[in-house]
Amino acid sequence: MTAISAEMVKQLRAKTGAGIMDCKQALSDCDGDMEKAVDFLRKKGLATAQKRAGRETSEGTVLSYIHMGGKIGVLVEVNCESDFVAKTDDFLEFVKNIAMHIAAANPQGLTSEDIPEEVVERESQIYRDQALEMGKPEKMLDKIVDGKINKFYKESCLMSQPYIRDPKLTVTDVLNDLIAKIGENIQIRRFARFQIGE
Distance CA(166)–CA(185), nearest Å, equals 22
- Buried b / exposed e along 44-53 (16+ C-beta atoms within 10 A): bbbebbeebe
Q: Do the first three CATH levels of 59-110+157-195 and 116-155 match, i.e. the same topology?
A: no
Instruction: With beta carbons less than 8 A apart as the criterion, state whether 120 and 149 touch.
Output: yes
Statement: 59-110+157-195 belongs to CATH 3.30.460.20: no
Across the chain, which has 198 residues, the per-10-residue mean pLDDT values are 80 72 82 84 63 68 91 95 91 96 95 90 90 84 88 93 93 90 88 91
Q: 116-155 in CATH: which number?
A: 1.10.286
For the chain, the domains span: 6-52, 59-110+157-195, 116-155
Q: Is residue 163 a contact partner of residue 170, using CB atoms and an 8 Å limit?
A: yes
CATH number for the domain whose boundaries are 6-52: 1.10.8.10
